[in-house]
Amino acid sequence: MYGLIGKMRAVAGERDRLVEILLGSTGEMPGCLSYVIAVDPADADAIWITEAWDSAESHKASLSLPRVQEAIAKARPLIAGFDSHVETAPVGGVGLGG
């Protein structure tokens, strides 16, 4: 399995709109086992995204999906930056199988 955990920073006051765009792009993504978007209760502009995929190749391929490309184009002006980005190797858990 392949995982990513990242902290994204929205332009001030645009976090909710950015979250809405991201949630709208999370439909059918082949190989995606989990894609969780969370707001940071301690930071009004921060969003955490936690992903689990069957492989790094599936994640890479998802970036070419029309729905994802559209979301990236809409979201780009609302993104102030990325605070952290960590690749992980999930080994299981609720919803991931084993």
Q: Pull the structure tokens for residue 93.
A: 């858990």
Closest CA to 48 of 36, 58, 57: 36
pLDDT at 98: 54
> Could you tell me if 77 and 12 are in contact, meaning their C-beta atoms sit under 8 angstroms apart?
no
CATH class of domain segment(s) 2-88: alpha beta
For the chain, the domains span 2-88
pLDDT bin (cut points 50, 70, 90) of residue 97 is low
* Furthest CA-CA distance within the chain: 40
Q: How far apart are CA 12 and CA 24, in angstroms?
A: 21
Can you tell me the distance from the alpha carbon of 74 to that of 26, in angstroms, rounded to the nearest whole number? 14
Q: What is the pLDDT of residues 35-88, one digit of tens each?
A: 999 999 999 999 999 999 999 999 999 999 998 899 999 999 999 999 999 999
Helices (DSSP H) in 1-98: which residue ranges? 15-24, 56-62, 66-75
Between helix 15-24 and helix 66-75 the angle, nearest 10°, is 170
